Each structure stands twice: as C-alpha cells, then as structure tokens.
Chain A
Amino acid sequence: MVANLLDPILLFALPMGVAFLLPLIDKLGRSVTHAVHLLVLAAMFGLTGWWTWQLAHGMAPIEIQTGGWAPPIGIALRLGVTEGLLALFAQGAALFGAVYLWGREEHGDIRAIALQLALVVGALGLFMTRDLFNIFVFVEITGIATYALAMLGREDSALEAGFKYMLMGSAASIFLLLGIALLYKHTGHLNLDAMQAALAQGSPAALSVALGLVFMLVLVSFAAELKLFPVNGPGLDMYEGVDPGVSALMVVTSVNGYLYAFYKVLAVFPAEWGTTVSVLGMVTFVGANLMANRQTQVRRMLGYSSSAQVGLLVALLPMVRAGHVHMLPVLLLIANHTFAKSALLWLAGQGEKLSLVEWRGVFSGRTIQRLTLTAAVLAITGLPPFPGFFGKWEVLTDLSAHGGAWWIGAILLGSLLEFGYYFKWLHYAHQGEESDVPQVPVSAQIAPALSAAVLLVGGLGMSLWRFPELANLSLPVAVLLGAGLALVLVRELSSVVSSGLALLVVLGVVGVTVGAGLELNTLAGLFTALALAGGTVTAIAALSVPTLKGAYHGLFLLLLSSVLMVVQSEHSLTFFVGWELMTWTSYLLIAQGREGARPAWVYMLFSGAAGFLLLGGLLVGYAHGVDSFSGMEALTGSAQLAAWSLLVLGILVKIGTVGAHVWAPDAYTESPDVYTAFLSGVISKVPVFALVLVLAHLGTGALTMGGYTFELHHLVAWLGGLTALGMSLLALFQEDAKKLLAYSSVGQLGYVVAGVAILSPLGWAAGLYHAVHHLGFKAMLLLVLAGVIHRTGTRKMYEMGGLIARMPLSFFIAMIGIIALAGVPPLGGFVGKWLLYNALVEEGWLFLAALMMFSSLVAFLYLYRFIHTIFLGQLKTRHREIKEAPLPYLLAEVALLGLVGLVSVWPQAVLSPVNAIAHSYLGGRGLGFEGELVFPGGVVRGSELVTSFGSYDPVVTMLVVALVFVLSAGLLWVSVPRARRVGQLDIAFAGEVPPPPEEIHFAFDFHRPYERVFGAVLRGQAVKFWRGFGDAVEAIAETSRGIYSGDGQTYLVYFFGLAVLLGALQMGL
C-alpha cells in the first residue's frame, strides 16, 4: 500500500501540500520555511532524477492515472524521458532561482515562496499532463503565479509590465479555452491521445473548417503565452520591468512548460499545418534578435533574446513532429536556454536598471561574475563546448538532411544577429576600471555561477556522449585544453607563475609531439609544426609582460589547442568545434588589449559570419551524407559549387581579404602586443589551411552558365592580389607602427591566398612557403615592435626615432625582418615571390603577376618608413635612458631569426614537405631540387630550386650577397668622412609659436603624396560600406521595434490581428 505512494504524482502532491501548509510552517520561523522550500525542490529533483535515470535505461514511460480512471476517462499524466529531462531542467534551475531569491520575500510575505512552488508545479503539469483541459488549468497556474510574483521587489515598472502581461495572458487563455472546448466538441475527448486517434480516423469535411479555426485559436493563444512576434510586447515589458529573479523563474518554468504543452497540442492537428508555426517561430527568432541590437537596457535586451530563442524552439517543434529533427538536440537547446538565460538574468540583477554603457567595468575585479557572464554569453550564442552548440549543430545537420536550406539560412542569420548584442554587453562589462556599482549578496552570485557550471559540465558530458569522435583528441590537444581551462579558472594568478606554467606546458606539448614523430609531409603535420613553433615563441615572449595574468595564459593554451584541433581534424564536427573554440578564445584575447574591447567585438561579428558561412558549406556536405572534407570529393554539380562558395567565402572573411578586411587591422593593433604576433603568425594561417583543404577536395569552383564555364578560383586569386596591393597601400598611411604591421600582415596573406588559389603544385609551394616564412618575419617584427612599445610606451612612429642607439639588437633583427618581408634576395621573401611569379606565369595569369609585383614595390615604401622612423634619425630626449628590449623578447626574436634563416638558406626544409602535400592532393610534378654545391667542408645537394622557367639557388645567392655587403660596407667605412652629430635642440624658433610637435616631425604624414593619389579610392571605402551596412541593419531594427509602442491596448489589437491573419490562412481565404 505504501509502495503505491512512490508515484510521480508526488511531484505535484509534495509542492502543493507544502505550498498550502506554508503559512503554518512559517510559524516555526522564517529559516525553517526557507529550508523546507529548498528541501522540497531538492527532493523533487532527486525523485525526478531517479525516475529519469531508469527511463533513460529502458524503463517504459510511466503512465499516471488520477481519480482511479484510466484514460480517456480520467486525467492521465505521463513521465517519459523527455518529460523527465524537462522537469529536471525546470527543477534544477528553480532550485538555483530559490537560492538567488533567498530572503528577498522579507519585503512582501511568505506567499512569494508558495508562489514559486506553484510555478514549478505548473511547469511540471504542463510537461506531464496528457489532458487538454488540464493543460489549460496549468497554464492558468503558471500565469497567475507569474502575475503575482511580478510584484516581488521593484514597484512601478513591475506594476505596468505585470498588468499589460495579464491583459495579454487573459486574452490568450480565453482563446485557449474556446479552442479546447471546440476540440472536445469535435472529438468527444479531452485526453490528447484519444483526441489524436479520433482525429486521425478522419472527420466530416464540414468539421475540418472548424478544425482550422480551432488551430488558429490554439496557435494565437500559445503565441501570446510563448511571446512570439508580434504579440510579445507585454512579455518584453516583463523582462524589463520585473525583478530578474522573477523573469528567470518565468523562463525556467512557465516558458518551457508552454513550449512542451504546445508541442503536445500540435500533435492533434494535421502535420502540414506545422509550417505556419515554424514560419511564425522563425520570424520571431530573426526579428527579435534583430531588434535586440538596438537595446540599451540589458534586461529588455534579454527579453528580446528570450523571445527569439523561444521562437527558434517553436519553429523546431513541428519539425520534430514530422521527424525531420531529433528531439534530443531540441532538449539540449532548451537546457541551454534555461540555464544560460537564467544565469544572464541573475547577472543582470546587478544594480538597478543599468544601461549598456553603465555596465562598463561592473565586473572588473569580480572574478566569479566575470567568468559566469562569459560562459553564459558563449553558451547562449551557441558556441562550443556548451550544449547550445551541440544542439544547434545536430538540429542543423538534421535539417540539412531534409532539404531545409531556407530554415538553415534563417537560423544562421538569427544566430549572427545574436552575436551582435551579446558580445556588445560582454565587452562593456569587461572593459574599464572597477565601477562603483554595489556588489550583490553572495546568494545572488552563487546562483548564476551554478547555472554556468551546469552548462559547462553538461555541455562537455553531453558532447562526449553524443559525439564520440570528439573524445578522440590527441594527447597534446587534451593537455592544452586541461591546462588552459585550469589557468582560466584561476584567472588572477600572477604573471610570473602563469606565464612560466604556460611555457612549460607548451614546451611539454612540443616535446610530446616531436617525440611521437611529427610527419611534416602532411598538411596537418606542417600546420601543427607551424602552430607549435609560433606558440613556443609567443609563450617565451610573454614571460616579460607583467600585465598578462592567468586568464591570458589559460586562454592562450585553449587557443593553441583549438588550432591543433582544427588542423588535426578528420571530421567536419571536430573541425568546426575547433574553429569556433578558436574564434571565441581569440576574441577574449583580443579584448584583453587596453583598447581591445570594440575591435574584438567587430572581430567577433566578422568571425561569426565567417563561421556560419563555413558551417553552411559543411551542411551542404551533410545534406549529401558527407561529414568530412575528404568526403566532399563526392559532391558534384550545384552541391559542389554551393559548398565551395560558402566555404571559400567564410575563409576569405576570416582571412580578411579586401572588402572584409575591416575587422583585421584594429583587432591586430589593439590586441596585447605579444598576442598580436601569434594572431598574425599562426591564427591567420588557420583559414589558409582550410582554404587548401577546400580547394584540394572541391576543386576550382567551376560555375557553368549558359554554356560558359568560369572557374571561381580565379576570383579568389585576384582577391588575394587586390588584398596584397590594397593593404600595402593602406599600410603606407599609418602613423601607428603596429597598425602599419597589421595592414602589412593582411596584405601578406593576400600573397598566400593568391598562391594557394592558383591550385597548382607550384602555386601551393609559393603560398605555403610564404605562410611559414611569414610566421618567421612578421612575428619577429611584431615582437621587436612589442619590445619598443614596452620601452617607449607609445605606438606612434613620430614619437620615436634614433632608437638604434639604445636598442641596437632590436634594430638589427628588425632590419633582417624587413629584408625578409621586402622580398629581395638573399632572404626567403624573395623565394616566395619568385615562386609565386613562376606559378602565375605558368598558368598564364600575367596581369595578376604584374599586380603582385607592383604591390611588392609598395611594401618597400612602408618598410622603409618603419625602420627609418623608429630606429634612425634623432633620438628623442625622453628616450635617452631607455634600455634594450627585455631578454625574453630577444630570445623569441632570435628563435624566429633562426626560422627565417633556415627557410631562407634552405627553403627545401619547407618546400619538400609542401611538394609532397601538393603531390598527394594535386598530383603532377611541382618543384624540382637540383644542383650540387661544393663547400670546402662538404657538398650540399639539391640547394637549387628549379621550375620550368629557371632556377634559383639561395645558398649561392646568400654567399654572393654577403660578399658584396662586406666589400661595400668596408669601402664606405674607409672612404666616407665621419658625420657630425646634431643635437635635437639645435633648432631655433624666431619668436613664433611652434606648431604641434607631431606636425613638425619629418615622419608625420610621411606618405602624403601617395595618399593624394590613392587615398580617395582606398581610405575608408570598405569601412564606409560596412558602417553603412551596420547603420542600415540598425535602422531596420529601430523602425521595427517601434511596433512595441508600450500601449497595452495596441498589443491587444496585434493579438486580434494575428488571429484574423491566421484564421484567414486556415480558412484558405
């Protein structure tokens, strides 16, 4: 008899009984009440967990009867795996919510706790009941509990919001009641299963009109409850107006409840009507995410976001029902939204109604909240390793297998819009000095942190369980991930300790990798070597930067692991997980720069777009059953072209080719100085890796139109060429030395892109050789500059000068770097360019070859300025006493010098692996190595590079150049008389007021003549375009959010309008 009592109905009886008894319990003391509240929630969680565990391990769904009557007579409930999981999310988050609201009802009374319990009961009822009218009752329970709780805490705005919300809710519940009554009349049942069976048997034709109207009633009602467009106005007001603790509860209980109840009700109607639902949901998803970008109130922004996320889930429900999408990923998305949104709302409870700008610095020095906010934002925007990523991934792959291209497009567009506002909030909260916003109580800090922890653990666990290929990480990746995560969590660890640890980890990983035998003759091997080389050097240099703490070094290790993950991936999923990890770790690293917040935001938007384009390309593969790059060779025709275009477009955006380059220079410039070297040297090469893969497996991108075939890789090569030219010209006009190198970096990638895009062995040799060599010299130059900035404290070139006297080593290294970059013999720059010209001429692309040569000339101009303005000329007075760059910088630079020297004198070190790679993908013969060089000490074979046009021997060249240099230098030393030094103050002013110092500096606006010629075409064109684009998007958002006039009556008119629209649709008018 007592065993009977262990029935899931306890999940209702327990909280209801306690809610009724609460006034009596409270007589024992308020702390007893709190304890009982938490205990009840915990007990429910435990029971549900126990049942769900059994259900997940094969137990049949538990059918629960009430009143002693089996369905369809009595009210039946069901506890299956889905219901169990949903209940667990709701109970878990409500438990955290109770922690958040701990002690907040002091101002009101004990009823607030009873109402919280009622909300949870309502949600459970909505999950579990199989009875239509019972759904109505539970909708009312959650609704009324929400209206009542709205008054917890703040007053005026809550009053207004609550009342408007109640108006809409009442209209919705009347519609629901009418719909339920008509369905009952129609079928004679209230039990959903019986109803479904009755309707499936077919009904009189006349009644199908009625059914259409019933569908309208139910859909409009749920649209209002779920806050879908355009009836979400009062819902948005709720998020803005009521205490975030309450709106969080609303998200975790009632919203999820309505969602699942709607799913159950949908099953009654014909499947094809689901399209209307999906369209409504998707419009909400895209529209609300768009409008959220114009919000300055964080809480209202979160409201728009909730509307959007629920819209996405609603759109997916009919697809789940049609079997196009699995239920599990949708559950993952629900879990993700539940915990992430509640955490964000609780965090938004910091202070009263802060607008975005006022968030500046709120979390500075508040470690837990800072980490929580970052994790929650990453989770809600669907980035790995959080459940939202895996949910979205699986939904998208499911959709792609069912031809849902438009849905995929809409989902990706909405997700990108979501990036815009969430990362804006993140960057405001992360930047600036500590603000004076008071700290919230401990319970309010713990609750969001708990949610974030659930997200992280749940996401990792779920992903490993669902995608075993992700568990298949190489040891180095795993070590870097673990160490990185650990360092991120102890983010305030001192710079000395954390940088040392990071270096040790990197060295260890290098040791393991080399010890395991790194195969350079594969693409993965080559790029692994590149990443580890760059990583080691940057880790060494970082030893000398006292401002970079544990957070930086942890993120750096995570970033390195993600790069390895990408280049070693064999599966589209692993590739994309690595790619997105790389995107956000890099974002956070850029944001650590002093002025890095805004450039990092722009970076994130472009990277997000790039990621989604790539994802689109990968999904074309999934649509044809292909889940890896190598499998993509099977694609043909339009699928091949679609995949090619999406992938290449994404890669080009991520590289920052001309047009999409606007994110790059600022992001490079404002990053921490050490990190810029890694960004330019390694991270920018990862898309190059992807480009090689895509071109290797998907070919030239042949576009056939009207009998003509155009190969799109020409276009890519030209874009590369134009990038090289355009960025070099822009580099000319920079006063900021770092920005000059930033533009130069993007420009140099243009050569790489052009080379790779030629899609010939020789072209690849040129491109990949240059990619490796670029790591050497550009990282070297950036580190030299980092040292200079470290000592002088400025990036403006006109504020420097004559530093050769104080920093001779730096000067020497910079000079080598510049020679390497300029592409003149005897260093590797020449080898790369010589190969590129050969490859271009071989293909007959002569115009492009000419363009490339011209842009090489432009590089001389800015390089000259770089070394001349910084190191030569007169030393500033204030720089008289500065020292040479710190030792770690110099060590790193010397290591890079070694790399440059090696590939310059012995290009085969890179070229022979590249040759092998090119051969394995493209076939044919690439480059030849011939000749024999006889030294006094021995013979070097194959030092000569041979193409069909000629040959080049770097060793001989090096020897000749060295000889000529020594001879001419000696001659000059002997013959030219000593120069007289002129002090900086040997200038007299004849009583005039001198113009501002930078204007009389000879290096200021040095290349003005060129700017007069090119500036009009170049300067700001792309920036102007993107700014205009952004303005247009914002204008659309601004106009469309005008429909939320704030008038509750207008909202009701929208409600009626939606009813008329859907009714007309259903009646076929």
Chain B
Amino acid sequence: MKQLIGSVFVLVMGLFLWSLVPLLGPSAGYLSTYFTQHGVADNHTANLVTAVVVNYRGFDTLGEVLVLFASVSGATFVLRRRDGLPTAQPWPASEFLATGARALFAPLVVFGAYIFVHGHLTPGGGFQGGAVVASAVLMLLLVNRDRHLPHGLMTWLESLSGFGFVLTGLIGLAVGGSFLSNKGLMPLGEWNTLFSGGLIPIIYVLVGIKVGAELSALLDVMFHSTGDADHQEGQA
C-alpha cells in the first residue's frame, strides 16, 4: 500500500520534472559566457573547469575538501568503536592477482600524481588523481588484508595538505586582497605549460594529496575496522 502510494508520488514527480525538459533548450548564461571568454586570460589555464573549480569557485572546493574530511572522519567514527565488528571476509587472492597488484601499485600512484599535477592542462585534477592514488592503495589492501597503512605518514600528509590549502588561501588574502586569490603572488606563466595558472597547480596538488589520503583512509577503515563480533541482538 505504502509502496503503491509512494510509486504514484514518484511518477507524478517524474512527470513534473519531465515537463521541464522542453523548457531547457541549449543556452549559455552570464557566468558560462564570462568564464569561456575570460577564463584563459584570467588564469592562464587551459582547462576552464579547473579554473572554475580551483580559482573562481575555490571556496566551494575548500568546503568540498572539508566535506570529504568530515565524512571520512564520520566513517571512522562509526566503524572504529571500542566494541568490535565483523570484518570483511578476504577475497581469495590468487598469486597472479597478488603479483599484478604489487606491480600496479607504483605506476598507479605515479599516474594519479600525473593527473593532479596536470589538472590545469588536461582533464582531471586533484579529485580524480586522488581517487587513482586511492585505487593504488586499494590494490594493496585487496591482496594483503593484514597490511595497514602507515598511520603516522598518513596523518601528516592529510593534516598538512589540508592546512596547506587553507594557508594558500590566506596567502592569497594577504597578497591578492581576497581569500584564495590567484593575483599577484605568482606569475601566471605560459599557457598550456606545466608552470602556468599561478597558484592553481599548487592548490590542486594539495587537494590531490588530501583526497588521496582521505580516500585511502576510508578504504583502510572499511577493510580494517576489526574486532570481535559483538552480540547480535534482534537477529532476523
């Protein structure tokens, strides 16, 4: 009954939304036009999305990093409690897979780093690169369940990259007059070269490290929050 009523609601909602589609023809608004016109001149970045993400809407991105930080903290908080949990049963890792994974680890990390270093030039950036780095960590976790990440190093990376982002913003404030400003501190450089875009690559590298560390920590805690299974009440 509840399901039927709910379905009717969902369908009507779908109709409402679908009725919008004819009204949503292709068009470019003010912001879009501005960024396509000025994006390159303002920041000397080839990738306009990166310019938007890191510079024009850099404050959003800082918030986004905080969201990721909060959710990984939250997952840790939920899973790593004083009483135990059933852990993931290991997948049987064949020798072939294990060898492949070990072999893939280093190239994956390098590839991830390449993505976030070139975020202002090519598609991709800190978030995508960070995710790739995390998938390298995933490889290790998959083949060796007992392997723990080096917590000390992770903590330092995580803390300093996040703090670095804020600090860069503050430097922008001190030099350029507004938080995360890309003006006046560093030369914007030559378009389409590695050293262009002013602070943008620096910030994206910090984001990459931060995201890579956070996502790795997330995977680690999903795999490893071990302990003895506590009493299961109300077993269905």
Contacts and interface: CB of A to CB of B under 8 A. Distances in A.
Given A4-B177, A5-B173, A115 B70 contact: yes
A284 B14 CA distance: 27
Interface in B41-63: 55-60, 62-63
A107 B82 contact: yes
A189 B76 contact: no
B20 A213 contact: yes
Contacts of B81: 107-108, 151, 155
Q: Which of B63, B69, B160 has the most CB of A within 10 A?
A: B63
B48 to A, nearest CB: 13
Contact of B179 (A7, A1053, A1064): A7
Contacts of A24: 155-156, 159-160
B174 A118 contact: no
Contact of B77 (A138, A151, A198): A151
A833 B49 CA distance: 91
A330 to B, nearest CB: 27
Interface string A1039-1061: 00000000101101100110110
A134 B59 contact: yes
A1022 interface: no
Interface stretch (A12-20, A252-260, A298-306, A565-573): A12-20
Interface in B20-41: 20, 23-24, 27-34
Given A20-B162, A184-B29, A144 B178 contact: no
B30 A1060 contact: no
A433 interface: no
B196 interface: no
Given A115-B74, A134-B60, A68 B166 contact: no
A19 B20 contact: no
Given A66-B178, A133-B60, A4 B173 contact: yes
Interface stretch (B3-11, B94-102, B114-122): B3-11
B145 interface: no
B56 A73 contact: yes
Interface stretch (A203-211, A676-684, A860-868): A203-211
Contacts of B66: 16, 19, 118, 121, 141
Contact of A69 (B56, B80, B162): B56
Interface stretch (B84-92, B127-135, B180-188): B180-188
Nearest to B33: A188
B13 A2 contact: no
B30 A115 contact: no
Contacts of A184: 29, 31
Contacts of B56: 67, 69, 73-75
A9 interface: yes
A68 B183 contact: yes
A115 B70 CA distance: 6
Contact of A1059 (B9, B173, B176): B9
Nearest to B74: A148
A392 B28 CA distance: 47
Contacts of A21: 159, 162-163
B59 A1052 contact: no
Given A5-B174, A73-B56, A137 B162 contact: no
A9 B74 CA distance: 26
Contact of B166 (A13, A75, A1057): A13
Interface string A219-253: 00000000000000000000000000000000000
B205 to A, nearest CB: 16
B32 A188 contact: yes
B67 interface: yes
Given A5-B174, A68-B176, A210-B23, A1052 B31 contact: no
A213 B13 CA distance: 10
Nearest to A114: B73
A112 interface: yes
A213 B73 contact: no
A532 interface: no
Contacts of A16: 62, 66, 162, 166
Q: Which of B165, B173, B181 has the most CB of A within 10 A?
A: B173
Interface in A1019-1069: 1047, 1049-1050, 1052-1053, 1056-1057, 1059-1060, 1063-1064, 1067
Contact of A20 (B10, B28, B34, B166): B166
A188 B23 contact: no
A9 B70 contact: no
Nearest to A220: B13
Contacts of A1052: 6
B29 A185 contact: yes
Interface residues of B, number: 68
Contacts of A539: none
Interface string A623-655: 000000000000000000000000000000000
A194 interface: yes
A190 interface: yes
A125 interface: yes
Contacts of B173: 4-5, 7, 9, 13
Contact of B6 (A2, A149, A1056): A1056
Contacts of A73: 31, 34, 56
Interface string B197-236: 0000000000000000000000000000000000000000
B64 interface: yes
B154 to A, nearest CB: 9
A1 interface: yes
Interface string A187-199: 1111000100010
A13 B169 contact: yes
B166 A1056 contact: no
Contacts of A148: 70-71, 73-75, 77-78
Nearest to B158: A23
Contact of B29 (A115, A137, A188): A188
Q: Which of B20, B30, B31, B73 has the most CB of A within 10 A?
A: B73
Nearest to A110: B73
Contacts of B160: 24
B78 to A, nearest CB: 5
Given A109-B76, A1056-B9, A72 B30 contact: yes
A67 B159 contact: no
B139 interface: no
B139 to A, nearest CB: 25
Contacts of B126: none
A23 B67 contact: no
A67 B163 CA distance: 17
Q: Which of A2, A13, A69, A118 has the most CB of B within 10 A?
A: A69
B170 interface: yes
B229 to A, nearest CB: 15
A72 B31 contact: yes
B12 interface: yes
Contacts of B60: 75, 131, 133-134, 137
Contacts of A1060: 9, 12-13, 16
A144 B20 CA distance: 31
A66 B180 contact: yes
Contact of A137 (B13, B31, B67, B182): B67
Given A1049-B2, A1063-B13, 15 more contacts: A5-B173, A13-B173, A17-B167, A20-B165, A66-B181, A67-B181, A111-B73, A121-B66, A133-B57, A188-B31, A190-B31, A198-B30, A209-B19, A1059-B9, A1064-B12
Interface of B: 2, 5-6, 9-10, 12-13, 16-17, 19-20, 23-24, 27-34, 55-60, 62-64, 66-67, 69-71, 73-78, 80-82, 155-156, 158-160, 162-163, 165-167, 169-170, 172-183
Interface of A: 1-2, 4-5, 7, 9, 12-13, 16-17, 19-24, 64-69, 72-75, 107-109, 111-112, 114-115, 118, 121, 125, 131, 133-134, 137-138, 140-141, 144-145, 147-149, 151-152, 155, 178, 182, 184-185, 187-190, 194, 198, 206-207, 209-210, 213, 216, 1047, 1049-1050, 1052-1053, 1056-1057, 1059-1060, 1063-1064, 1067
The 3 A-B pairs with the shortest beta carbon distances in the complex, nearest first, are A188-B29, A148-B74, A20-B162
